[in-house]
Chains A and B, each alone.
Chain A
Amino acid sequence: MKGVRHYPGFLTMAVACLVILYAPLIVVTVYSFNASTSITTWGGFSWRWYGDVFTGPEAPRFKAAAWNSITIAVLAASAATTIAVAASLAMIRGGRFRGKSATFALINLPLMVPEIVTAVATLIFFSAIGLVTGYMTILIAHIVFCIPFAYLPITARLQGIEDSYEQAARDLYATQWQAFRLVLLPLMLPGVISGFLLAFIISLDDFIITNFVKGAGMETLPTAIFGSVKQGIKPNIMAISTMMLAVSVLFVTLSYLVNRIGQRTRS
């Protein structure tokens, strides 16, 4: 069989896709180190705009937004991961129960529903029950849409763990809780960490839902960046975007590595 490289047009297609996907990111990254105030002409290498993010006129706004983003991401990812662990235990270890496939669909629905619809619906829901928009509403919304992202790697991991490990633990006088904590949870851990990292990054990056439910005066990094861009793109936006990109790449890579280590320890 011929390798995929030998098909006509493969190289052209591959290069075109890579360029379209990554050229904008590369441009942003490169120009974030631009010494010039212009966003299109190169004026030499400099850390200037990174300094500007932390000390410039917009620094207090970015700092507050970053603090909100990170705390929300940590809390939302923790809560979503906890719920996802419970959900995957019920789905994989809970035996047969009525409405199991419906439950599976419901857990994963947020992945399919257009985000703008979720955003509008969430906002309407919050105002209907009289919840004042702000930090809490962002957090609640993030927990909800992070669940499926945490659920998928955790479930994939749990499916690969034979139930004889828990049975062996129960057989050796462990209570149900001990069997979970001492045996099943450590075996699930790569999936749990991977799920947490994914949920964290999804929460950190979210714009649409956050923008709807954040309320006045409350900003996360994506909404702060968006607000700043509305007054024209300045090079400091490129610096802050590049930092977010670095965090995202780091977390996704970590999630991947943790999963791969898990694959190896399983056999």
Chain B
Amino acid sequence: MSTAIEIRSAVKRYGTTTALHAVSLEIADNAFFTLLGPSGCGKTTLLRCIAGFEDLNEGEIRLFGQDIARLDPNHRPVNTVFQHYALFPHMTVLENVAFGLKMIGVSLDDRRARAGRMLEMVHLSAFADRMPTQLSGGQQQRVALARALAPEPKVLLLDEPLSALDLKLRQAMRVELKTLQEETGITFVFVTHDQEEALTMSDRIAVMSQGRVQQVGSAREIYEAPVNRFVADFIGETNLIEVTVERIEGDWARVILPGGHVIRCAAAGTSPGKHHLSIRPERLSLAKTGELVATIERVVYLGTDLQLLTRLTSGEAIQVRLQNSARTEVPAPGTQVALHLEEGAARLLAD
């Protein structure tokens, strides 16, 4: 598969603060790629650098091999869906969608036809002659999509486009976006701070923090094999426990838990010494007997799940998630239970 965007050691500074620290990334063609991270992590800055609204201080951005880092935004064959859509309020929906085509010199008849087809694709043909302010948030969102897709960009950039929508609409739009990406075959670069959004739509995800890419991988990879504490903590819920790696035996590490309990897990490039262990709450279960003894402190009913807040005899708080089925026995707060760790449930982190 060819590479749509290749970013090499991109550095962006604002005065004395550095927003991007030598970021390098490869984004495959025809992929749904997500930049995920908390606010201020540099994801939007990176997107704006790709679009051309910000200039890099150092580094390259290659679009299908061509370095575009120094081009003006109107010379980059990428289009953007803005967070608040930025639909032109003085133009009709159709004029908005046709704007990009007009700028690249498509004739009036042609651009009306093409903009019309785009509106059809986002199911808004009936609204072509309305003004953007007469549309609901979800409809404006779809107009913004149609407008950005109309000039057939090589890459579509989306800057937290779903954040202004309510939950139900957001969930529906996730599916619609993913379908749209597959139908058009255009590479989508999607920025979000919402990990659920990232996990449900993306082919690949780059997790960013403090101006650096922490990990790039599929949803499954970053969830199940986080490379560091930040990724483990940011994606989903996790229990982070400080442990001691006693020794490394090939690919495996012998790990001593706080209570003295010893487990074996993948070494993941660690060396003997203090490390953090990540255990997903849903990978823990309750057992009648076992060495890892904990006291139930609270039981939280979440509908599909039960969340148990427990504390190990050594003092660490551990969360456990149980699926709520008819057979689930709900332990009462204060009872002692043994926690069962599935094989491979614990993940040793390099930092």
Contacts and interface: CB of A to CB of B under 8 A. Distances in A.
B167 interface: no
A266 B88 CA distance: 10
Interface residues of B, number: 25
A176 B75 CA distance: 11
Contacts of A168: 80, 82, 86-88
A182 B86 CA distance: 14
Contacts of B72: 170, 176
B88 A170 contact: no
A7 interface: no
Interface stretch (A9-17, A159-167, A204-212, A223-231): A159-167
A178 interface: yes
B90 A171 contact: no
Contacts of A46: none
Contact of A173 (B51, B82, B84, B103): B103
Contact of A162 (B53, B84, B90, B99): B84
B99 A169 contact: yes
Contacts of A178: 103
A171 B88 CA distance: 13
A89 to B, nearest CB: 17
B80 A186 contact: no
A172 interface: yes
B86 A167 contact: yes
A171 B73 CA distance: 5
Interface of A: 162, 164-165, 167-176, 178, 182-183, 186-187, 265-267
Contact of B86 (A162, A173, A186): A162
A165 B74 contact: no
Contact of A183 (B51, B74, B88, B151): B88
Contacts of A187: 89-90
B89 A172 contact: no
27 contacts: A165-B86, A167-B51, A167-B53, A167-B73, A167-B80, A167-B82, A168-B87, A169-B99, A169-B103, A170-B52, A170-B73, A171-B73, A171-B80, A172-B74, A172-B99, A172-B103, A172-B147, A172-B148, A172-B151, A173-B74, A173-B100, A173-B104, A176-B72, A187-B89, A265-B89, A265-B90, A266-B89
Nearest to A165: B86
A61 B168 CA distance: 73
A173 B151 contact: yes
Given A164-B82, A187-B89, A266-B89, A174 B53 contact: no
